[in-house]
Amino acid sequence: MAARRRTTRAQAGPGVRRGLPGRRGVPSAVALALALLVGCGGNTPPDTARADVRRMLDRRATAVLERDGTAYRATEATTTSVAGQLATGTAEFANLRALPLASWSYGLNAFHRSGDRATAEAALRYRIRGYDTAPVTAVRTLTLVRGDDGAWRVAADEPSEKGTEQLWEQGRIRAVRGERSLVLGVGRSARALGEYARLADRAVPAVTEAWGEDWARRVVVVVPESLEEMAGLLGAPASGYRGIAAVTTGEAGGAAKAPADRIVVNPDAYAVLGDFGRQVVLTHETTHVATRAHTDAATPLWLSEGYADWVGYRGTGRAAPEVAPELRRAVAEGRAPTALPTDSDFGFSDDSGELARAYEGGWLACRMIADQWGEVRLDEFYRAVGAYGEREGAVEGALKEVLGTTVGDFTGRWREYVRAQLG
């Protein structure tokens, strides 16, 4: 191991002859230097690079929170030789400015150094003021370089394999506040985003009236510029969301202190809807935000999606044939369903009618509970299913405990209800 050159003169140890060259060997001064090199590993100063990077990321986080562009750029490498950089420096900082942040910090999960370069996996944690009760986490891969001044700086900041793209990487964020909503968009005017806020503000009290007040009663709506950008935010192929107007992110079964969900809009599909359809979509997705803490592995999709549709159409006066046209067609053709939709029926396939029938069947099941047992029992049933925590026995147990029936009896009633409503 190479040793650092000492800055003080070493003292000769015992047995070392001062100033006298050996008869056939090297001079004693050189011998002393060689002796000092041997076994010096224990005196090697510790590598402070990881700690230095932590401090640099702390300064970077403070700069974001304080909107200090100069301080932020001081954490950026000036080299342009690093490929793959998405949005750093002036562009990224400008894109972030409209995001109302309550917190922003980095946790260093992994660090690998090779000379004056390093890579790191960092957990970016941030909260939106007034909406997130706990941080949202975005896992980032950082490329770092050490400058001539010895300081480490960020040369590239990208989503890691465990993370997804963030809205500020897609362009400058515009934020529009509603009474009960916050809409974050890229490539949209304030007026256009205001329409989302108007419908979201209607959705929140509609969901509260149906579900109750045990949720945040506010929503964050994210509007990317296109379907492709939506897919980037969700970390999935765009083909999986074609024709889907919006989705809700968030951990199912999350605790009350979990961060607020995001309703992510597919602007391509949303644009073809009328005002009524757009309202139903945002009310449906807002229902997922409200029910998330009671939705987990025990909850079948026919119940979670059916309940969200039930709230979305509740009070609209729309008749069953209007809401369930695909299922009505199946009944008319003698193809009435014999069993409740399975989770796999909600998957994307070449048959869009199959997916529509799954949603419509779940909606009619929840509508039947509300009609025959009452809306209060429907809510109690939803919560009771989620309380099991796992799928096995959950629906069976909740049917018995809350509705006083069995799976067989419930399914038979549902088949009759579908025919009566759509026949």
Phi, psi of 220, rounded to the nearest 5 degrees: -110, 125
φ/ψ of residue 125, rounded to 5? -120, 130
SS3 label, residue 183 = strand
- Domains defined along the chain, listed by start: 49-163 (3.10.450.50), 171-294 (3.30.2010.30), 295-423 (1.10.390)
Picking from 63, 58, 4, the residue whose alpha carbon sits closest to that of residue 36 is 4
Neighbours of 305 (CB within 10 A): 23
Distance between CA 93 and CA 313 in Å, rounded? 41
pLDDT of residue 126: 96
Question: Exposure pattern of 154-188 as b/e (b: 16+ CB <10 Å)?
Answer: bbbbbbbeebbbbbbbbbebbbbebebbbbbbbeb
User: Each residue of 345-404: pLDDT tens digit?
Assistant: 998 766 678 999 999 999 999 999 999 999 999 999 999 999 999 999 999 999 999 999
Residue 80 is predicted with a pLDDT of 53
SS3 content of the chain, % helix, strand, coil (to 5): 45, 15, 40
- Of 259, 192, 199, the C-alpha closest to 224 is 192
Can you say how many angstroms the Cα of residue 349 is from the centroid of all Cα atoms in its chain? 25
Least confident piece of the model among 12-16, 63-67, 108-112: 12-16
Mean of pLDDT over the chain: 87
Mean pLDDT to the nearest integer, 320-329: 97
Residue 6 in this model has a pLDDT that exceeds 80: no
pLDDT of 279 strictly over 80: yes
pLDDT tens, 176-215?
Answer: 999 999 999 999 999 999 999 999 999 999 999 999 999 9
Residue type, 19: G
- Give me the pLDDT at residue 221, please: 98
φ/ψ of residue 350, rounded to 5: -70, -20
Q: Residue for token digits 């009524």?
A: 276
pLDDT at 146 over 80: yes
The predicted pLDDT at position 162 comes to 82
Over residues 132-159, the mean pLDDT reads 93
Split at pLDDT 50, 70, 90, the class of 47 is confident
The dihedrals phi and psi of 87, each to the nearest 5 degrees, come to: -160, 105
| Closest CA relative to residue 371, chosen from 330, 336, 320 | 320
How many whole angstroms separate alpha carbon 33 and alpha carbon 38? 9
Does 171 have pLDDT greater than 80? yes
Q: What is the pLDDT of residues 81-122, one digit of tens each?
A: 554 444 456 788 899 999 999 999 999 999 999 999 999 999
- DSSP secondary structure letters along 102-164: EEEEEEEEEEEEETTEEEEEEEEEEEETTT-SS-EEEEEEEEEEE-TTS-EEEEEEEE-TT--
* Residue-level pLDDT at 12: 35
Q: CA-to-CA distance for 268 and 98, rounded, in angstroms?
A: 24
Tell me the C-alpha distance between 358 and 180, whole Å.
31
112 forms bridges with which residues in the sheet?
A: 119
